[in-house]
Amino acid sequence: MQEVDSMHRPITAAYTTSRLILDQSKQISRTPSESSVQSALPQQTSMSSPVLERSKSAPTLLTAAQRTMLAQVGACNAHLTSDENMAINELRLHKPRLPKDTWFFTDPNKDPDDVVTYTLGKQLQAEGFVHITDVVATLGDAEVRSQRAEMAKGVFNKLELHDVHVSRGRDYAMNSLQSKEHAKFLLEGHALRAGPGEIHRDSLQDMSRRLARAPHGVGIVVIAGMSDINALITTCPDIVRERVDDITIMGGVEPLKDADGFVQPDARAYNNTTDMDAARSLYRKAQELGIPLRIVTKEAAYKTAVSPSFYEGIAGSGHPVGHYLRDVQKSALKGLWEGIQDGLLPGLDDSWFFRTFMPNAQIEAVQLDKNKENSFEDIWPKVTKLNLYDPLTLLASVPGAAKLLFKPKAIHTEGFGVVEQVGPDDVTHPEKAKLLMSALAKSALVQSTVAPD
């Protein structure tokens, strides 16, 4: 039996692989900052001094092939804390035989959540857990949806996932309040947009054609309104039943089933209310077709809230996506606060905002003078809890990650498709979830800040 290190990798094989990579890269300049990388590389005291030096030093700029090989031996994690390293290494123990083909239904650039999800997805793909193939962007009128699709495509390009197929979502009914709220497109997102020629306009035609040709079963991750995925499941039920393995939704369910025994979407969950008719139809149709549903609630995300240091950490990579995420977080929270003040978000009020984003000790200080109008500049310094709704939903869709972090509750198992819910009590390891999200995001952006092949 070979001696193995703490990550259960054979030391001999790890050394051989890393030595080959680093020999290829020995002409690339090195800097003092690389000392942190050295500790992540396997070492053997019997090696000669020159060889030992090569094995302990990683190049400043890595090609895609080099960083993939280094990742396999755990040599690219020096940018992580020890706890983050432990979390991502534990995830690697659950790597599947084949990555899971994954589609996103998304509404980027109304808040940072979607782009954080793409970033985690990039690293999950690099690690062999998922293969992101298709993305449909929704929310707003046709022009805004085009901007969201261009934004999504641009971010995936920056993340070196150039093959992701991005479509603009379809029209859906909006009332006057929704028209205003759904039009929100943060200024910071424009710099990351791809050209209009890089996106596809007919989402339904695109989806049905590509799903029919999918080589493997597909996992659907819904982190936005459900107009498009509902159109697909309604128009092409046989293809969806044959090709879709499961659907994971950031949403919520009503405590009571409908008269026919179907689980219903929660009318208070934002993604459901974006197009409530589509949400009701999707939930029911998926159950009729026997497609497993996993619903992640917003309360689950409250349990895994991160501090602003999460965004500072990923911005430290120097990657433009990291900078965007750090800068846009404040803008997004400001927009949420002002939307509540303007009455654009039914069911959300000041108390909900304070309870969600601030510790209890600070709520009283903010609410001392209830007659005084609090500007966002008064609120921002007191914010310490930021929720990663969509990234948590992605982790819940990945079997290896879900096994580590959650114990989903089956709320429907008889007669129709299985429906599971991930609520706050079903997040079994919230601290590990935070560490894993940080580790994946940091790793994705560091690995993308490299020289071309």
Q: Are residues 293 and 330 in the same domain?
A: no
Last residue of a domain, one of 382, 410, 430: 382
**pLDDT tens-digit map of 275-320:** 999 999 999 999 999 999 999 999 999 999 998 889 999 999 999 9
The reply to whether 41 falls in a domain is no
Q: Are residues 255 and 356 in the same domain?
A: no
Q: Are residues 89 and 161 in the same domain?
A: yes
If DSSP codes are grouped into helix, strand and coil, which group holds residue 281?
helix
DSSP 8-state code for residue 26? T
**pLDDT tens-digit map of 87-138:** 999 999 999 999 999 999 999 999 999 999 999 999 999 999 999 999 999 9
The reply to whether 242 falls in a domain is yes
Q: Are residues 164 and 133 in the same domain?
A: yes
The whole model's pTM is what? Answer: 0.79
DSSP 8-state code for residue 169? P
| CA neighbor of 230 nearest in space, from 247, 210, 255 | 247
The reply to whether 1 falls in a domain is no
Residues of the chain with pLDDT under 70: 1-78, 360-373, 448-453
Q: Are residues 250 and 147 in the same domain?
A: yes
Strand 419-422 and strand 409-412: pairing?
Answer: antiparallel
Write the DSSP string, 186-207: -GGGGGGPPPGGGSBS-HHHHH
The reply to whether 19 falls in a domain is no
Last residue of a domain, one of 336, 356, 382: 382
Q: Distance of CA 238 to CAs 241, 284, 396, Å?
A: 5, 15, 26
Q: Are residues 320 and 356 in the same domain?
A: yes
Q: Are residues 291 and 324 in the same domain?
A: no
Q: Are residues 330 and 356 in the same domain?
A: yes
Determine the residue type at 337.
W
The reply to whether 67 falls in a domain is no
Reading across the β-sheet that carries 165-168, which strands appear in turn? 165-168, 130-137, 100-106, 218-222, 244-251, 293-297, 419-422, 409-412
Q: Is 303 exposed, middle or buried (0-12, 13-18, 19+ CB in 10 A)?
A: middle
Q: Are residues 274 and 361 in the same domain?
A: no
- Spatial distance between the Cα atoms of 425 and 305, rounded to a whole number of angstroms: 14
The reply to whether 428 falls in a domain is yes
Residues sharing a CB contact under 8 Å with residue 297, sequence separation 6 or more, in sequence order: 251, 252, 266, 269, 421, 422, 423, 424
Write the DSSP string, 321-371: HHHHHHHHHHHHHHHHHHHHHTT-STT--HHHHHHHHS-HHHHHHHTS-TT
- Spatial distance between the Cα atoms of 70 and 54, rounded to a whole number of angstroms: 13
Q: Are residues 323 and 410 in the same domain?
A: no
The reply to whether 18 falls in a domain is no
- Spatial distance between the Cα atoms of 396 and 8, rounded to a whole number of angstroms: 25
Last residue of a domain, one of 335, 357, 382: 382
- The pLDDT value given to residue 308: 85
Q: Are residues 128 and 256 in the same domain?
A: yes
- The pLDDT value given to residue 355: 83
How many structural domains is the chain composed of? Answer: 2
CATH of the domain at 105: 3.90.245.10
Q: Are residues 286 and 429 in the same domain?
A: yes
The reply to whether 27 falls in a domain is no
Please give the residue range of the domain that contains residue 177. 78-303+387-445
